[in-house]
Structure 1
Amino acid sequence: MTRWIDIAALDDIPPRGARTVKTAQGCVAVFRTFDDRVFALDDRCPHKGGPLSEGIVHGHAVTCPLHAWVFSLETGRALGEDDGSVATYPARVEQGRVLIDATRLQTWRVA
Protein backbone atom coordinates (compact mmCIF):
# COMPACT_ATOMS: atom_id res chain seq x y z
CA MET A 1 0.00 0.00 0.00
CA THR A 2 1.40 3.38 -1.00
CA ARG A 3 1.61 5.99 1.74
CA TRP A 4 2.19 9.48 0.33
CA ILE A 5 3.82 12.11 2.54
CA ASP A 6 3.57 15.83 1.76
CA ILE A 7 7.10 17.22 2.02
CA ALA A 8 6.94 20.71 0.50
CA ALA A 9 5.25 23.09 -1.89
CA LEU A 10 6.57 22.73 -5.43
CA ASP A 11 7.58 26.40 -5.26
CA ASP A 12 9.82 25.59 -2.25
CA ILE A 13 12.11 23.67 -4.61
CA PRO A 14 13.80 25.92 -7.16
CA PRO A 15 13.53 24.91 -10.83
CA ARG A 16 16.53 22.67 -11.61
CA GLY A 17 17.16 22.39 -7.86
CA ALA A 18 16.67 19.98 -4.97
CA ARG A 19 15.66 19.60 -1.34
CA THR A 20 16.63 16.79 0.99
CA VAL A 21 14.50 14.59 3.19
CA LYS A 22 16.33 12.97 6.10
CA THR A 23 15.29 9.39 6.82
CA ALA A 24 16.42 6.60 9.12
CA GLN A 25 18.16 5.06 6.09
CA GLY A 26 19.91 8.27 4.97
CA CYS A 27 19.02 11.33 2.95
CA VAL A 28 16.75 11.36 -0.07
CA ALA A 29 17.17 14.14 -2.64
CA VAL A 30 13.96 15.46 -4.19
CA PHE A 31 14.63 17.19 -7.52
CA ARG A 32 12.51 19.61 -9.54
CA THR A 33 13.23 19.71 -13.27
CA PHE A 34 12.77 22.50 -15.80
CA ASP A 35 9.33 21.11 -16.70
CA ASP A 36 8.18 20.97 -13.03
CA ARG A 37 8.46 17.19 -12.73
CA VAL A 38 9.76 15.84 -9.42
CA PHE A 39 12.03 12.86 -8.79
CA ALA A 40 13.41 11.38 -5.58
CA LEU A 41 16.75 9.55 -5.32
CA ASP A 42 19.18 8.54 -2.61
CA ASP A 43 21.30 11.64 -1.98
CA ARG A 44 24.62 9.77 -1.90
CA CYS A 45 26.62 9.08 -5.06
CA PRO A 46 27.87 5.46 -5.02
CA HIS A 47 31.21 6.53 -6.52
CA LYS A 48 32.60 8.82 -3.81
CA GLY A 49 29.59 9.62 -1.63
CA GLY A 50 28.94 13.06 -3.10
CA PRO A 51 25.65 14.79 -2.22
CA LEU A 52 23.57 14.57 -5.39
CA SER A 53 21.25 17.27 -4.03
CA GLU A 54 24.13 19.72 -4.53
CA GLY A 55 24.68 18.62 -8.14
CA ILE A 56 23.66 20.31 -11.37
CA VAL A 57 20.20 19.35 -12.66
CA HIS A 58 19.96 19.28 -16.46
CA GLY A 59 17.06 17.81 -18.37
CA HIS A 60 16.04 14.73 -16.38
CA ALA A 61 19.52 14.07 -15.01
CA VAL A 62 21.80 15.31 -12.23
CA THR A 63 25.59 15.57 -12.23
CA CYS A 64 27.39 14.66 -9.01
CA PRO A 65 29.30 17.68 -7.66
CA LEU A 66 32.38 15.63 -6.73
CA HIS A 67 33.38 13.61 -9.79
CA ALA A 68 30.84 14.49 -12.50
CA TRP A 69 29.00 11.19 -12.67
CA VAL A 70 25.63 11.81 -14.34
CA PHE A 71 22.52 10.06 -12.99
CA SER A 72 19.13 9.63 -14.63
CA LEU A 73 16.48 11.13 -12.36
CA GLU A 74 13.99 8.66 -13.84
CA THR A 75 15.91 5.42 -13.23
CA GLY A 76 18.72 6.28 -10.80
CA ARG A 77 21.29 4.74 -13.16
CA ALA A 78 24.65 6.38 -13.73
CA LEU A 79 24.83 7.29 -17.40
CA GLY A 80 28.00 6.07 -19.09
CA GLU A 81 29.08 4.04 -16.04
CA ASP A 82 28.83 0.26 -15.76
CA ASP A 83 28.45 -0.10 -12.02
CA GLY A 84 26.63 2.94 -10.71
CA SER A 85 23.07 3.48 -9.60
CA VAL A 86 21.10 4.94 -6.70
CA ALA A 87 17.71 3.98 -5.34
CA THR A 88 14.70 5.91 -6.58
CA TYR A 89 11.46 6.69 -4.75
CA PRO A 90 8.06 7.47 -6.27
CA ALA A 91 7.31 11.20 -6.12
CA ARG A 92 4.56 13.35 -7.58
CA VAL A 93 3.02 16.81 -7.53
CA GLU A 94 -0.57 17.16 -6.42
CA GLN A 95 -2.32 20.54 -6.09
CA GLY A 96 1.05 22.31 -5.99
CA ARG A 97 2.45 20.06 -3.25
CA VAL A 98 5.33 17.57 -3.58
CA LEU A 99 4.49 14.11 -2.29
CA ILE A 100 6.89 11.21 -1.80
CA ASP A 101 5.99 7.57 -1.27
CA ALA A 102 7.04 6.81 2.30
CA THR A 103 6.46 3.07 2.12
CA ARG A 104 10.23 2.41 2.32
CA LEU A 105 10.99 5.37 4.60
CA GLN A 106 10.71 4.94 8.36
CA THR A 107 11.56 8.26 10.05
CA TRP A 108 11.73 11.42 7.94
CA ARG A 109 11.96 15.17 8.15
CA VAL A 110 12.58 17.85 5.53
CA ALA A 111 16.01 19.47 5.71
Structure 2
Amino acid sequence: MKGLERRLINFKKPERKGRLITVGRVEDLPEGRSATVELNDGAELAIYNVGGRFYAIENFCPHKGAPLADGFLHGRIVECCLHGWRFDVGTGQCLTRPGCDIETYEVIIEDGLIKIKV
Protein backbone atom coordinates (compact mmCIF):
# COMPACT_ATOMS: atom_id res chain seq x y z
CA MET A 1 0.00 0.00 0.00
CA LYS A 2 1.39 3.33 -1.01
CA GLY A 3 2.27 5.72 1.80
CA LEU A 4 2.34 3.10 4.57
CA GLU A 5 5.52 2.53 6.48
CA ARG A 6 6.98 -0.94 6.22
CA ARG A 7 6.19 -3.38 8.98
CA LEU A 8 9.05 -4.31 11.28
CA ILE A 9 9.90 -7.93 12.08
CA ASN A 10 9.55 -9.11 15.67
CA PHE A 11 12.60 -11.22 16.46
CA LYS A 12 11.29 -11.85 19.99
CA LYS A 13 8.01 -13.45 18.89
CA PRO A 14 7.61 -16.87 20.53
CA GLU A 15 7.77 -19.89 18.27
CA ARG A 16 4.51 -21.84 18.46
CA LYS A 17 5.18 -25.29 19.86
CA GLY A 18 1.79 -26.14 21.36
CA ARG A 19 2.98 -26.09 24.96
CA LEU A 20 1.57 -24.38 28.04
CA ILE A 21 3.82 -22.05 30.00
CA THR A 22 2.88 -20.96 33.52
CA VAL A 23 3.60 -17.25 33.85
CA GLY A 24 2.20 -16.35 37.28
CA ARG A 25 -0.80 -16.27 39.54
CA VAL A 26 -4.07 -14.49 38.77
CA GLU A 27 -3.60 -12.11 41.71
CA ASP A 28 -0.19 -11.04 40.33
CA LEU A 29 -1.86 -9.07 37.52
CA PRO A 30 -4.62 -6.73 38.76
CA GLU A 31 -7.55 -5.69 36.55
CA GLY A 32 -6.68 -3.10 33.93
CA ARG A 33 -2.95 -3.86 34.09
CA SER A 34 -0.41 -5.41 31.75
CA ALA A 35 2.93 -7.14 32.11
CA THR A 36 5.81 -8.33 29.98
CA VAL A 37 6.38 -12.09 29.97
CA GLU A 38 9.96 -13.03 29.14
CA LEU A 39 10.41 -16.64 28.07
CA ASN A 40 13.58 -18.71 28.60
CA ASP A 41 14.58 -18.43 24.94
CA GLY A 42 14.45 -14.61 24.96
CA ALA A 43 11.00 -14.39 23.36
CA GLU A 44 8.47 -11.97 24.85
CA LEU A 45 4.72 -11.69 25.24
CA ALA A 46 2.47 -9.01 26.68
CA ILE A 47 -0.32 -10.15 28.99
CA TYR A 48 -3.37 -8.11 30.03
CA ASN A 49 -6.13 -8.41 32.61
CA VAL A 50 -9.28 -6.87 31.14
CA GLY A 51 -12.19 -7.12 33.54
CA GLY A 52 -10.88 -10.37 35.01
CA ARG A 53 -10.26 -11.94 31.60
CA PHE A 54 -6.66 -12.49 30.52
CA TYR A 55 -5.22 -11.91 27.03
CA ALA A 56 -1.74 -12.45 25.60
CA ILE A 57 -0.25 -10.92 22.46
CA GLU A 58 3.20 -10.51 20.99
CA ASN A 59 4.96 -7.72 22.87
CA PHE A 60 5.86 -5.71 19.78
CA CYS A 61 4.30 -2.87 17.84
CA PRO A 62 4.93 -3.45 14.12
CA HIS A 63 5.24 0.30 13.56
CA LYS A 64 8.48 1.01 15.44
CA GLY A 65 8.96 -2.06 17.67
CA ALA A 66 7.86 -0.61 21.01
CA PRO A 67 6.81 -3.10 23.71
CA LEU A 68 3.01 -3.19 23.83
CA ALA A 69 3.00 -4.18 27.51
CA ASP A 70 4.14 -0.58 28.15
CA GLY A 71 1.13 0.78 26.24
CA PHE A 72 -2.08 2.35 27.52
CA LEU A 73 -4.96 -0.07 28.03
CA HIS A 74 -8.50 1.13 27.23
CA GLY A 75 -10.79 -1.87 27.73
CA ARG A 76 -9.60 -4.47 25.20
CA ILE A 77 -7.65 -1.89 23.22
CA VAL A 78 -3.96 -1.26 23.86
CA GLU A 79 -2.41 1.92 22.52
CA CYS A 80 1.31 1.85 21.79
CA CYS A 81 3.19 4.27 24.03
CA LEU A 82 5.41 5.49 21.18
CA HIS A 83 3.12 6.61 18.37
CA GLY A 84 -0.39 5.63 19.42
CA TRP A 85 -1.02 2.62 17.19
CA ARG A 86 -3.99 0.69 18.62
CA PHE A 87 -4.59 -3.07 18.81
CA ASP A 88 -7.41 -5.28 20.09
CA VAL A 89 -5.73 -7.57 22.65
CA GLY A 90 -8.38 -10.24 22.07
CA THR A 91 -8.01 -10.53 18.30
CA GLY A 92 -4.66 -8.88 17.54
CA GLN A 93 -6.35 -6.62 14.98
CA CYS A 94 -4.55 -3.36 14.33
CA LEU A 95 -7.10 -0.57 14.45
CA THR A 96 -4.65 2.01 13.12
CA ARG A 97 -3.29 0.41 9.94
CA PRO A 98 -5.00 -2.43 8.03
CA GLY A 99 -2.74 -5.43 7.53
CA CYS A 100 -0.57 -4.75 10.59
CA ASP A 101 -2.28 -7.23 12.91
CA ILE A 102 -0.27 -8.99 15.64
CA GLU A 103 -0.29 -12.54 17.01
CA THR A 104 -2.51 -13.52 19.92
CA TYR A 105 -1.92 -16.44 22.27
CA GLU A 106 -4.45 -18.51 24.18
CA VAL A 107 -4.51 -17.90 27.94
CA ILE A 108 -5.78 -20.61 30.28
CA ILE A 109 -6.50 -20.08 33.98
CA GLU A 110 -6.02 -23.27 35.97
CA ASP A 111 -6.04 -23.50 39.78
CA GLY A 112 -5.34 -19.76 40.03
CA LEU A 113 -2.35 -19.97 37.69
CA ILE A 114 -2.05 -18.03 34.41
CA LYS A 115 -0.85 -20.26 31.57
CA ILE A 116 -0.17 -19.22 27.98
CA LYS A 117 -0.17 -21.63 25.06
CA VAL A 118 2.82 -21.04 22.82
TM over 0.5: yes
Q: Which moved more, 1:81-90 or 1:35-44?
A: 81-90
Q: Which moved more, 1:93-102 or 1:50-59?
A: 93-102
1:28 counterpart = 2:55: no
1:98 counterpart = 2:98: no
Consecutive unaligned residues of structure 1, counting only runs of 5 or more, are: 103-111
- Determine which structure has more spread, i.e. the larger CA radius of gyration: 2
How many percent of aligned residue pairs carry the same amino acid?
33
* Aligned mates of 1:66, 1:3 — CA distance in 2: 32
Aligned to 1:80: 96
* Larger strand percent: 1
C-alpha offsets along residues 76-111 of structure 1, whole Å, 9 cap, x if unaligned?
111131131111111122232211113xxxxxxxxx
Bigger RCO (CA 8 Å, 6+ sep): 1
CA RMSD in angstroms, aligned pairs only: 1.7
Consecutive unaligned residues of structure 2, counting only runs of 5 or more, are: 1-16
TM-score by length of 1: 0.81
Detail structure 1 runs of 4+ shifted over 6 Å in the superposition: none
1:18 counterpart = 2:34: yes
Superposition deviation, residue 25 in structure 1 = 6.0
